[in-house]
Structure 1
Amino acid sequence: MKILVLNGPNLNLLGKREPAIYGNLSLEEINNNLSVLAAELRVDISFQQSNHEGDLIDLLHHAVGEVDGVIFNPGAFTHYSYALRDAVAAVGIPTIEVHLSNIYAREDFRRHSVVAPVAAGQISGLGANSYLLALRALVELMPCWRKNDANENASSDK
């Protein structure tokens, strides 16, 4: 199984950026923790981060046929990027949306995700553990998603 961890704008500043909200771990530390868990779960994992919406869309497009699942923290794009929402929907890769903070307990504009309706799930508010839980969820749920895809393909062939 191959998993892509995709991080959006400003997440490269983790550990320095508002630690009271986002925690003290850097993105590199979060990625290292994910690598350790991925090794335990026997999963190949790769990491990408961009502050640019188009780059994130391209990374999602290039993931088709290359990865089995995506852990995606779109950052502020969560709340308004219909282009990213459409890319997640278009690629058809099971995607777990993650957030370090509880977006539903923050400012009004952060309480809505345009990505969540097309994601397989969403985990927020659990700090860096949100990423670890997303990886576990992808690994545990992947066989179910593959079975559902096979059933949908079989019924559409009729």
Structure 2
Amino acid sequence: MPSVLILNGPNLNLLGTRQPDVYGATTLADIEKICADAAAALGLEIAFLQSNHEGALLDAIHAAKGVHGGIVLNAGAYTHTSVALMDAIASVELPVVEVHLSNIHARETFRHHSYIAPVAIGQICGFGAKGYLMALDALSERLVTS
């Protein structure tokens, strides 16, 4: 059964209470549950990890090679700042789908640039928690046809 790592970056542990007008009332635990249910229906195994530390995210990406078939990544603010995450993704040669709960292109100008996008197979933003499900669906199709 193909496996997908769902990796969440800084401040996402605060979902449900952090700026609910921007990010909604859904918690990270809620997202993990809906992802687990969706993955089971798609015939995928998942691992779910959140860290506020860039190095821990890098380590998780490195460790994914040979273990997971792909990665769903919500890098949070590191999306706009981390060349290191971009390089790690390029290095492991796994399909990555970039996810954001809000529409980063309709927000502050600094959020319009993503270091992840050039090394991702796609970017999903603005659909709230449903974006994770869209990413799992896209990765599932990719992994089945590979």
Question: How is 1:88-99 mapped onto 2 (pairs within 5 angstroms)?
Answer: 88-99=89-100
- Could you tell me which residue of structure 2 aligns to residue 142 of structure 1? 143
- Could you tell me which residue of structure 1 aligns to residue 120 of structure 2? 119
- Could you tell me which residue of structure 1 aligns to residue 88 of structure 2? 87
Letter matched to residue 54 of structure 1: G
Please report how far the alpha carbon of residue 63 of structure 1 lies from its aligned counterpart in structure 2 after TM superposition.
0.7
Backbone CA RMSD of aligned residues: 0.7
Q: Which runs of 5+ in 1 are unaligned?
A: 147-158
Q: Which of 1 and 2 has greater Rg?
A: 1
- Could you tell me which residue of structure 1 aligns to residue 8 of structure 2? 7
- Report whether the alignment pairs 1:22 with 2:23: yes
Q: Which runs of 5+ in 2 are unaligned?
A: none
When normalised by structure 1's length, the TM-score is: 0.90
Q: Look up the SS of the partner of 1:59 in the other structure.
A: helix
Query: Hey, what's the Cα distance between the residues in 1 that align with 2:142 and 2:69?
Result: 11
- Could you tell me which residue of structure 1 aligns to residue 133 of structure 2? 132
Query: Hey, what's the Cα distance between the residues in 1 that align with 2:136 and 2:24?
Result: 19
When normalised by structure 2's length, the TM-score is: 0.97
Q: Look up the SS of the partner of 2:62 in the other structure.
A: helix
- Could you tell me which residue of structure 2 aligns to residue 32 of structure 1? 33
Q: Which runs of 4+ in 1 moved over 3 A?
A: none
- Tell me the number of residue pairs that the alignment of Structure 1 and Structure 2 aligns: 145
Letter matched to residue 29 of structure 2: E
Letter matched to residue 31 of structure 1: E
